[in-house]
Structures are given as structure tokens and as C-alpha cells.
Structure 1
């Protein structure tokens, strides 16, 4: 998986396209909205962009996050999460998808509980400073860009981390494991 010289930020949430498009024109920011384009096409645009910050709304793990939430909400078809994980891994290995340096999650308190656990539990548990909650405001997100904290990158064993997601239970993600509860 490749990493870029620009700081790549995915803005996620219902108002992400509006927030991202409003960031276009900021100094050192290249804003890219997905629209109807496939994620791989957005990835190609992101890799060609030359700016300090490349901000977009094409989350490479969107299908995994939706499948994870559906899995734990009991609304997913059997095997749906596993299929989404394997598709994401294939896209990441083939450089058709790129993990961002940061996720800015808009209005996480307004999300359904399981989706909130995806963002602030699963993803933040894997890379704590790489997931940042924010109000759905281009001014706030634009201001945050220069203040993003460095921290641990996504897990080195991306395959193992993603394939373990069916065991990453909401409300328990990120909690220390009790050694007496081993099975």
C-alpha cells in the first residue's frame, strides 16, 4: 500500500460533500468530491494532487464500515462483512484504494450508535489520533487541518486487523481485554 507526500484527509458524514467542496480554494488544500465517480477514480485523482492537504469524501473503508454496522445491527446478509473486507483488501493491495492519513467524522453524535462505534471505536481504536470528530462546518474543518496531531499509523497487519472485525463488538471495541475471560 502506498502513502503519499500530501496529507490525505477523508471527511465522512452526511454533509461531507458540502464541507469538502467548501474547502476548495483554501491555501495548500486540494478538495475533491466523489460525486458519482467510483472510488478508484477518486484515488487516482488523489494520487496526482499536489498540495499539502488533499481532502476528499471517498472513504476507502465505507463499505466495510457499513457492513460492520449492519452485521452488528443484525441487518446484513450472511457473509456480507467478510465480502466487504476482502474487497477492501483487494483494492488497498492493488492501490485502487488508499487509506487516508486522517478521518474527520462530521457530527458523530448524530450517527446511529453502531455507526458511531465504527468511527470512534473501531477506527479510532486502531489509530487514535487519526480519527477526529468535528461539526459539519467547512470553517471548523479547514481550521483543524493545520492542527491534526501526529500519531500511530493504521495497523501494520492490515489483513489481520480487517479480518478480525467480526469479533470487534460495539461498546467493547478499544476496551482492555480481561485476561481472566480468555476462552
Structure 2
């Protein structure tokens, strides 16, 4: 069944655009098309990332995120909430979201930082979850996706760019072929 969906995708009048890889060079997209045509994308991902993580509850995700924050961003504002969010649609929005909530209590301004991760990453490799959390943590210091932002991401996760690409491959597999981890 998953094999047929991927083949139908590739047998259209022209090769469809790979939704999650549109910003990547054409030669990389061609390689992914080839893997899909050979029904090997899942095999490649499983070889690189054979296991999923154990951070499947909001509490475990909060602890995982807090440990990364304390290791790399001790002086950044505290995080009040971290949770999986089933309302995040990775196609329409993002892989995760960060929000800063400011409230006035009396004559004081209280700020809270929250991080939400798409529920689809509950059953993903730890490396993908880490990449998303690092990305959202970097927004505590850098609001825009600029050079300083990506430098901070790479400081917290040296393989950040490869993990971002591999996460997009994973999402492509989910979209075209279905689940990868049972």
C-alpha cells in the first residue's frame, strides 16, 4: 500500500514537487524522487535512525527541553510550558511553535515563554525531536531566522542542518508512504 502511493505520486504527468523540500537544490530533490521511485526512502531513514525516542508525554518533553535549555541557554528567560500540540499541521504551519505571552499583574509585566511541538514527532527519532526543540529554543534569543539564529542552532546541535533535511525527508515519507515506526 505505501509503495503504491509513492509510485502514483511519481507517475503523474510530471514529477510532483516535494512539499517539504522546496527550498533545497534540484539535485537533492532528484535524489529523493529516485529513492521514492525505488521505494527506498524509508529504508534509508531507518538505517540512519533505527529507533524512536521515549519523550512521549508533555512532562517528558518539558524535561527534555529544560535540560537542553539549561545546558546551552542558562541566562535565557525560563520556559513555562512545553507540550505536544495536535493542532500544529506541519504542512500549513511549522514543526513546532514558540510563543511569548505577556500579562500585566498589578504594576508588573510578567512574560512567559511556551514551546509547542507537532504531535507527529511523538513517534520520531530523538534526533528529529532535538532539532525541533533546539530550533524553538534558539527563538528565545533570536526572533528571526537570520545568521545569528542558525549559528545558535548549530552551537546547540552541530548537525542541525543535516537533521533539518533528514526531518524533512521523514515528513515526506509520512506524507507519501505512511508511518515508518510501528
TM-score, normalised relative to structure 1: 0.24
Instruction: Select the structure that is richer in helix.
Output: 2
The higher radius of gyration belongs to 2
